[in-house]
Structure 1
Amino acid sequence: MGDDVHPKERGQRSEAAIVFELVRRGLTVLEPFGDNERYDLAVEAAGEFYRIQVKTGRLENGCVRFETRSSGTLTRKIEKEGYDGEIDVFAVYSPELEDGFVVPIAAAPTTTMGLRVEEPEKPSPNTNWATDYRIDDWVESIRDERE
C-alpha cells in the first residue's frame, strides 16, 4: 500500500482484511450502523460480544507500530483520545506483512504500541512480540472462555 493512499481508504482496507480473517475463522462479525461508535466491529463468540477497534500498523524498524488512541479535529485543534472502557481489543493489520494481530485494550499503552516481528539490536524485557498477539490465539481464547 503506497503512501499516496488516502487515510480513509487505508483504514477501509485494514477493516476489510480483519473482517476477512475473523470470518475465515468462523466468527460472526457485526458492524455498527453509522460512524459514531468508538469501535469499528464487534464479534460474537460463545454468547459474548467483543468490541474491536481496527488499526493499520506500519512496519518500522522490525516492529508493527500503531496508535492506541484516535485523532480528531475539534475547532482547528487536534484532539487525541484513548479507548479505555469503549473497546475490548485492537485488531491491527499490517499491509506490509499482510498479517493481522489482536491486542487486548488492557495490554496496550495509552499512545502507541509496537509489535516486534524481528529481533531487536538490543534485547529488552519489555518487548511486545507480534507472535504473542496472533489472531488465531485470540479467537481460540474467546471460544474457550465459555466452554
Structure 2
Amino acid sequence: MLNTDTKLKGDIAEQAVILQALKKGWNILKPIGDRLPYDLVFEIEGSFIKIQVKSAWFDTKRQNFVVDTRRTKTNRREMLREKYSESDFDFAIIYLEEIQIFYIIPVGVFISYSSEIHLVESEKRQRKPKSADYREAWHLLNSDSVNQ
C-alpha cells in the first residue's frame, strides 16, 4: 500500500463502502461537504440509514488494526477531536484496506469505546474478541434491524 495521508485513506474507505453497497443493490446518498457527523446515507428497503465510514490502520507493535472512535474537526489553526453521540449516525463501517475487510458496527456499540477500537484479525487468539461479531455483518443494515 502506498504511503497515504488520512484524507486519502478516508476517501478510499468511503469508495470501498459505496462499491459494496452498490453491489448489494442499495441506493446511496452522499452529503455535500464534510461538516455532518455521517459520510453516507443508504436507502435500504425504504429505510434511510446514516453511515459513518472509518479507515483502520495496522499497528505493527500490537499486530492488530486500530480505528479512532472520535470525530475530528479541523479549522485553520487546530484539529479538535470529540466523541460522537448516539444521534450522529446509525452505523459505523470500518474498512481494513490492507485485507479488504469491513466491520459494520451499530452506533451504540461504536461510541461505547473510549477513543479506539482494536480489531484482531489473527487466528492465534484463544477467544474471539467482541468486535468479531461485526466482521462483514452487512445483515445488520437490513430494515428490520434498523427499525427496531
Say which SS state the counterpart of residue 9 (structure 1) adopts.
helix
Any idea what the Cα deviations from partners look like across 1:103-134, whole Å, max 9, x if unmatched?
1111121311122222465x568x22435331
User: TM-score, with normalisation over the residues of structure 2?
Assistant: 0.80
The percent identity for this pair of structures is: 24
Q: Is 1:102 equivalent to 2:104 in the alignment? A: yes
Q: CA deviation at 1:46?
A: 2.4
Any idea what the Cα deviations from partners look like across 1:24-44, whole Å, max 9, x if unmatched?
111111101222211100111
Structure 1 residue aligned with 2:134:
132
Structure 2 residue aligned with 1:6:
5
Amino acid at match of 2:34: D
Counterparts in 2 of 1:135 and 1:66: CA distance versus 1, 3 Å: same
Counterparts in 2 of 1:35 and 1:118: CA distance versus 1, 3 Å: same
Q: CA deviation at 1:10?
A: 1.3
Q: Is 1:38 equivalent to 2:41 in the alignment? A: no
Q: CA deviation at 1:73?
A: 3.6
| Runs (5+) with no aligned partner, structure 2 | none
- CA RMSD, 1 decimal: 2.4
Structure 2 residue aligned with 1:113:
117
Amino acid at match of 2:66: R
